[in-house]
Amino acid sequence: MKRKDDFYEEDFYESDDEVDLKDLLFTLFRRWKLIVLIGAPIFILGVFFAATRPTIYMAEMTMMISNGRNISATSLDGGELSVNQKLTTTYSEIARSKTILKNVIKKYDLETSLIGLKNSVTIDPVEDTELIKLTYKNEDPILAAAIVNEIGNEFMLKVRGIMNFQNIKVIEQAEIPTDTLPKKRMIILFISFALSIMIGCAVALLIEFFFFKLRKEKDIEKVLGVSSLGTVENFEKEEDIQNKQLFFKNFKNHKINESFRNIRTKLHFLNEKESSRTILITSTVSKEGKTLFALNYAMSLAIAGKKVLFIDCDIRESKTQEIFGFTFNRGLESVLSRKCGVEDVILKNVENNLDIIPTKNISNNVTELFLGDEMSSLLEKLEKDYNTIILDTPSLSQATDAAILSKYCDGVVYIVAYNQLKKKELEYGESILNNAKANVYGFVLNKVDESEKYYLDNNVYWDRYKIFRDNYNDKKKSFKIGLKNLLKNY
């Protein structure tokens, strides 16, 4: 199953580091709704917290301590300053002791706890001086000044009583503050915004890690060991597709039509048999768009003048009747059971150059129908009348029919739906075809979201750039014409 063709180039891709960065950025781009959903409540809480920040006042009291020298001294050496700094640390603990704080709480009937009051009181030395500053923060400026002065007075009494130390004096009593402390709302908003983005991105990356689905052609190539034949957009969302089924002939989306033409060309060069060839279409799981791809690929060949036969081999879950709306009593299952001839079930000229062998849904002994010689004989007979025969088979997770039928075919086209398969699921499908020694031409990345198509490979970057460039030039040209006409009127 391991093979390479002329369309595969090793140096087509970027370096691993660049790819990893691109993967990371693209994951965040894909999950932007989740990031917003998770980050918005965090940012809203930050806005609420910033908006409800209380108005805080800080009262300040200045005191002076000395080592017993006259306070009017004009100079202090380093040793004396060191002693005073140690005394400042000791005084800080005394000022915030339980005894002093309990007295203050009792006197002013404060509702705060000892720990709350202790955290609101600070004592800091003024560098290279004998001064210390006692501060307290509160929403009430009058109460803030009163508490600072009370703590300062209690502190001096405590020091004089314990240490018999008289050289501590108040330089400035605390006055009622008039200026409020900065509420730092912008800082809070910035931090909450940054947290919302970081947490949202972290959750998005975790989800991507645990629920990763295959999206990149390079990742699929590593599993299957074959090259990409092309990509097809998710045309099922288009409103102008009649019945969203056989659209290739009259579909207006030229990009999707061109995708099928490119795939048709690649498959042509992969197998240049002059006689008829048989191609099997399969996928790993259901709902990967396998049948719709097979039908429209068949239509692209028929329009190119090839005589094409589409055989519905998905006997368990046939969609032929649902897609075309016609009724039939017998199909492929009747031919393989020898209940009728193939001429009795072929639907001629469903479209120009396109014939179809339908099948009816049955559930018993399906695999046995393909194991016999009837299928091989049938294909040998039909190859004389058609340029290309396309077999639409069940997904590999449903049955092994595709593996059995692959030995009757020239090659297999593997359909992989974009962002639908896990790596283990694709590895399971690959192992089935590998055990059957199937000749896999390549894979088609199907149902690609147009908004994410630029992620796939370099040629799509140019495609998106061309769309942007043409759109921009058209708008620019229209603006110039409109402006020119407007000036003419004046």
- Determine whether domain 57-172 maps to CATH 3.30.70.1130: yes
Per-residue pLDDT reduced to its tens digit, 344-361: 899 998 888 999 999 887
Q: Strands across the sheet with 354-357, in order?
A: 228-233, 440-448, 411-417, 277-283, 388-392, 308-312, 354-357, 347-351
Parse the chain into domains and list their residue ranges. Answer: 31-52+183-208, 57-172, 215-456
Architecture label for domain 215-456? 3-Layer(aba) Sandwich (3.40)
pLDDT band at 248 (very low <50, low <70, confident <90, very high): low
Beta carbons of 446 and 415 less than 8 angstroms apart: yes
Buried b (16+ CB within 10 A) or exposed e, 178-199: eeeeeeeeeebbeebeeebbee
pTM: 0.63
Lowest mean pLDDT among 5-9, 147-151, 241-245, 328-332: 5-9
Per-residue pLDDT reduced to its tens digit, 66-80: 655 544 444 445 555
Region 380-401: mean pLDDT is 92
